[in-house]
Chain A
């Protein structure tokens, strides 16, 4: 009895939480803010409404067949009803749905063709995203764990992986597309309004798979171009004594073997590019907030935050060295 009631109560709680959690929308496919996601949303509701209608219809007919008036039951048992409702209706409904879906989703990937050459390449890594923007003059600007896009413009994005299969999924903007070793897939994203949404790796890729997320920032075209121009310049030169000390700590402790900070000697390519890390919305692939404490935590304790990631723990710093390097990284906007 009690266990039954408890089960029922927990079901109620789950039922109450589910819609609530969908309410912040940053990672909800039901709050589309991109052309692709809007198409998916339309299709989703079409199929859902059709399915509900068919279910109600069938249930109604079943009720009639069991308890309905004699005359209705006779009508239902005729061959006409069987051929019409059992064969013709499904063929018509499903065919309309299929054509509708092909039309909505622009089958044949015509969008991938019309969107032109990929302007962004995202490479999946265990467990973060390398994001490379190609500028108009052909330069490649490397960033990580965050995708910025212009509103109202279809951007083709090449998806690759360096290790295992990942899946790129920004639910507010589009459906999932896998990143497969040895292959380049292309997805097209077109945000319809400015705003920040969240994405997630959608294919199990190892222990820290759940901590492989990212943010998508959709910006007005002019803002986007200004941002990309800022992103293209080398890192900001440290201005305070503390930041200068932090830069020395960074360079002398070998951080540059894996990380690049353009404008310094650090030119490693194993870990994320940190040239403008301070301007990103999160650290460690949308796992930590982007602030000084989070930098310090990640440097000393990253194996607990994201077990088995490639970065070794760096615990050799005196407290003032650690705050200095954290402050330096945080200043790289």
Chain B
């Protein structure tokens, strides 16, 4: 109004007033920022803020952190698609890894949390009700990525989402039917039956046998490879690769990292000396057996696919694994890792990588089915010939 009626001079005066008020506001903001920075510096330098785990956050801080946490996890897990988790093999594998990888901090249903861990801040929550607190996709995200400033680590095996889902499947099972906890079932079986492993006065194979089985017992899951009768030199190499991190697995890496060289050698020879009791059947074994046999024995030259058994049988170096009798689920899973570029960092893995990428899905189904029903004795290098050139 004033501008309209007051003419040019009034307009100029008004502009000056406006500029002055902006300047005042800017100075006020700068001054308060300065004061805040100064107070903050004093608080930090004088050690006023208490980082003690024994002292809880302020209520406001707590709510803010919790809100941030939930929003972050919810948004970042939005694009994840869960596979089917109703799979006993997945649950059993997850359960065993939970025992060694998660339970030390989170406790388990029948063992209270370690009092030392309980004084962490934030304390690792018990996971019996994890599924009612979080969606399975969110649990997957948490297990895979970990959470900053909480002590929750990220998954150590790069690209091994399949292993992360095993843990999530187990957490889900815990909530859905706690009585079927596979760990309980196994403990009951072991309490009733004799456990030949305990008789060994050598390095304790219990940590291997929990998943891979031992003398007279098969692996606990289709997803876990049968090691019985496997080439010792291959097993030795695989454990070293897990330990170096060149072969990725969040389940095997922590186990292998804790092994001394002598123990690696011992376990490799131990499993190599066992006879397989695995049934050889497998849920994933649904391919065309005849076609699989042709691929394994003669390859498909037109597609650049060499015959598997030239390397993976008694004719070749013991540094190659024997594939006969491994479950189709396991073989499929490993070929999938190669096809996704996750298993080519090792010397031997680099040989298999281009070949795995040439296989079509129906060829993979056929050949893994055939190999899974092939008897192990037909495939172990050391059962046919002692050692390889490097061992001579």
Q: Which residues of A contact B (CB under 8 A)?
A: 162, 245, 248-249, 251-254, 256-258, 265, 268-270, 310, 312-316, 318, 321
Contact = CB atoms under 8 A, between A and B. Distances in A.
Given A270-B304, A312-B353, A252 B317 contact: yes
A254 B350 contact: no
A316 B352 CA distance: 13
Nearest to A308: B354
B389 A252 contact: yes
Contact of B307 (A248, A257, A310, A312): A257
6 contacts: A249-B389, A252-B315, A254-B311, A270-B304, A310-B304, A313-B351
Contacts of B348: 316
Interface in B350-385: 350-355
B309 to A, nearest CB: 9
Given A162-B302, A249-B389, A254-B351, 9 more contacts: A245-B389, A252-B317, A257-B299, A268-B301, A270-B299, A270-B306, A315-B350, A316-B348, A318-B390
A313 B307 CA distance: 17
Contacts of A316: 319, 347-348, 351
Nearest to B350: A313
Interface string B310-335: 11000111011000000000000000
Residue of A248, A254, A256 with most partner-chain B CB within 10 A? A254
B12 interface: no
A268 B306 contact: yes
Interface of A is mostly: loop
B113 to A, nearest CB: 46
A212 B389 CA distance: 35
A253 B299 contact: no
B388 interface: yes
B6 to A, nearest CB: 67
Contacts of A251: 315-316
B199 to A, nearest CB: 36
B316 A253 contact: yes
A312 B348 CA distance: 10
A28 B292 CA distance: 50
Nearest to A256: B310
Contacts of A257: 299, 306-307, 310-311
A312 B343 CA distance: 14
Contacts of A321: 389-390
A304 to B, nearest CB: 13
Contact of A268 (B310, B347, B353): B310
Contacts, number: 60
Interface of B: 299, 301-302, 304-307, 310-311, 315-317, 319-320, 347-348, 350-355, 388-390
B354 to A, nearest CB: 5
Contacts of A270: 299, 301, 304-306
B316 A312 contact: no
A270 B305 CA distance: 8
A258 B305 CA distance: 9
A310 B388 CA distance: 26
Contacts of A258: 306
B307 A265 contact: no
Residue of B301, B306, B307, B353 with most partner-chain A CB within 10 A? B306
A160 to B, nearest CB: 13
B390 A254 contact: no
Residue of A257, A258, A313 with most partner-chain B CB within 10 A? A257
Given A268-B299, A318-B390, A312 B311 contact: no
Nearest to A324: B389
- Sorted from nearest, which 9 A-B pairs have the closest CB atoms? A257-B306, A254-B311, A257-B310, A252-B317, A312-B351, A269-B301, A316-B347, A310-B304, A315-B347
Contacts of A254: 306, 310-311, 316-317, 320, 351
Contacts of A252: 315-317, 388-389
A265 B301 CA distance: 17
A313 B353 CA distance: 10
Contacts of B388: 252
B284 to A, nearest CB: 25
Contacts of B307: 257, 268
A321 B355 CA distance: 24
Nearest to B304: A310
Contacts of B305: 270
A248 B389 contact: yes
A49 to B, nearest CB: 49
Contacts of B316: 251-254
Nearest to A325: B389
A312 B347 contact: no
A314 B355 CA distance: 13
A211 to B, nearest CB: 18
Contacts of B301: 268-270
B174 to A, nearest CB: 43
